[in-house]
Amino acid sequence: MVIQSQKKAAAKIAADHEGKQGQSLLSKALTPEFDWSDKDEFLDVIYWMRQIMGLLLGLVWGLIPLKGLLALALFLLVNVAIVYVYYNTFQKVDEETYGGTMEILKEGLMTSFSSFLVAWIILYSALHSESSSS
């Protein structure tokens, strides 16, 4: 009887572990306080979240239309704030596991900034540039 209950407990633990491994990265990212066994997976989530944010914020800034230093500073502020709230409040990860707060906040920031600039410049130029007549 004791051996059967131990086997059932071991099977349950194995099934739970397999369930965590079988989850998609998106479902892991959307699960609050997920136990990130693979450090690189969490950093991948931060990276790709930033890329999507860069593109979306570039489109929004181009539509509004925001321009100048205010737009750049606002992008950086929004981008860093969302990542900070995500890892500190939603996921509640120990930042020291990932090299500290600055390492998490730097992850993918420059490539996100590049995506933002491309989307922002293209949309802003298409919608708000003055057409010159000859």
d(CA 15, CA 23): 12
d(CA 81, CA 45): 16
> 33: phi > 0 → left, psi -120 to 50 → alpha, else beta; which?
left
Q: pLDDT by residue (tens digit) across 18-55?
A: 445 668 999 999 999 999 989 899 999 999 999 999 99
Does position 15 have pLDDT exceeding 90, yes or no?
no
CA 38 to chain centre: 16
Mean pLDDT (whole number) for 60-71? 94
Give the predicted TM-score (pTM) of the model. Answer: 0.78
Residue ranges of domains in the chain? 24-128
Q: pLDDT by residue (tens digit) across 67-109?
A: 899 999 999 999 999 999 999 999 999 999 999 999 999 999 9
pLDDT of residue 130: 79
pLDDT of residue 110: 97
pLDDT of residue 85: 96
Q: Taking CA 119 as the corner, what is the angle to CA 117 and CA 121, rounded to the nearest 5 degrees?
A: 65
